[in-house]
Amino acid sequence: MIVFVAWTLSQSAEAKPKVVAPTYAVGWNAIGAAGGQCYLPPDYATMGPGDRRIAWNSARNAMMEQWTGQKGDGFTVEPQVSEAVETALLAKPERVEQVSKDNFEKCKAAFQSGGMSAWTGWLSGLNAQLTAGECPNPPLDYTLYDYLSINSGWQIPAGVCKGDRVLITASEADYYQIVPNGTWINASGDPAGGKPTTSGFPCDVEGCKPGILTMKFVGASGTTVVVPVGLRSEFLVPEHGRISVMINDDNLSDNKYKVESRLEHHTQIEYGPAK
C-alpha cells in the first residue's frame, strides 16, 4: 500500500512538468512567432545618476523607433500620438522608467496574442495620463512685446498657467481716437467716459471706460473673464488658459492713431511676470 502511494505521487509529478517562464535580456527581444520584437529596459534602480540618464535616452529612442514604424515589425501609431508622448518624456525624462516598463509588457502581450489594439489604445491615452493637471504652456518667466491694433478684436494671445501673476502694461505716450474728431486718448481710456451703457463693448464692468485697454482670460474649463487693464495691471491666473487684449470699443473700424511729425503712434503692449 505504501509503495502504491509513492508510485502514484511519482507518476503525478511526471504528468505535470514545471513551466519555466522565458527570460529576456535587456534590449530587443524576439517575441511571438510573427517576428515581433520588444525592448526590455534595464533595472534603473541599480544605476547611478549618469548611467540612469543614458538609459532613459536609450529606452526613449528605442520606443520611438518602434512607435514610428522604423522597426519594421508591423506596429506603428499616428505621428501626433508618438510626438505627444515623446514631448511629455522629454519634458520629464524620469517618466521613461515606468513608461518603458509598461511598454514592454504591452508589446509582449500584443505580439504573443497577435492583437495590437490594446497597445495602441494605451499609447493613444498616454500623453493625457502623463500630463494630467499640468499646464500645457511654458512658464511666463519672460517678457512678451507687441503692438496694439486699435482696429482689431482680441489679439496678442499668450498661454498662461494657474498661479502665474501676469503684469500687463501699455505705453503711455501713444494716443488714438475711438470716434472721428474725438478726444485723443491712450490705453487708460477716455477720461470723461464712464462705464459703457450700450451693448457691443467687450468690457462693461466697473472701470471699463470706452477706449481702455482690456484683457480677456479664457480658462481650460471654458471660464471667461474680461477685465480693464489701462496702462498697467496685474492678473493672478486662476487656472491654465490664455490671455489676449483689445481696446474697449463697440466700433473698431473708425479708430485711428495720432500722427505727429509724420510718425504714427503705436501703443506697445508688454506681458511679463509681476515682481
Range of the domain at 77: 21-130
pLDDT tens across 88-104, in order?
999 899 999 999 999 99
115 with 163, same domain? no
**pTM of this prediction?**
0.65
> Is 149 contained in some domain?
yes
> Is 262 contained in some domain?
yes
CB atoms within 10 A of CB 92: 11
Q: 3-state class of 129 per DSSP?
A: helix
168 with 230, same domain? yes
194 with 237, same domain? yes
Whole-angstrom Cα distance, residue 167 to residue 272? 5
User: Which residue is associated with the grid cell 487656472?
Assistant: 239
- Mean pLDDT, rounded, for 195-209: 85
So what's the pLDDT on residue 54? Answer: 97
> Is 136 contained in some domain?
no
**Is the confidence at residue 43, as pLDDT, over 70?**
yes
> Of 97, 130, 163, at which residue does a domain stop?
130
So what's the pLDDT on residue 33? Answer: 82
> Is 226 contained in some domain?
yes
> Of 130, 152, 177, at which residue does a domain stop?
130
> Is 2 contained in some domain?
no
So what's the pLDDT on residue 7? Answer: 43
175 with 214, same domain? yes
User: What would the 3-class secondary structure string for 52-121 be?
Assistant: HHHHHHHHHHHHHHHHCCCCCCCCCCCHHHHHHHHHHHHHCHHHHHHHHHHHHHHHHHHHHHCCCHHHHH
Total number of domains constituting the chain: 2
pLDDT tens across 9-27, in order?
444 455 566 656 678 999 9
Whole-angstrom Cα distance, residue 160 to residue 154? 16
> Is 63 contained in some domain?
yes
CA geometry: angle at 260 spanning 259 and 262, to 5°?
Answer: 80
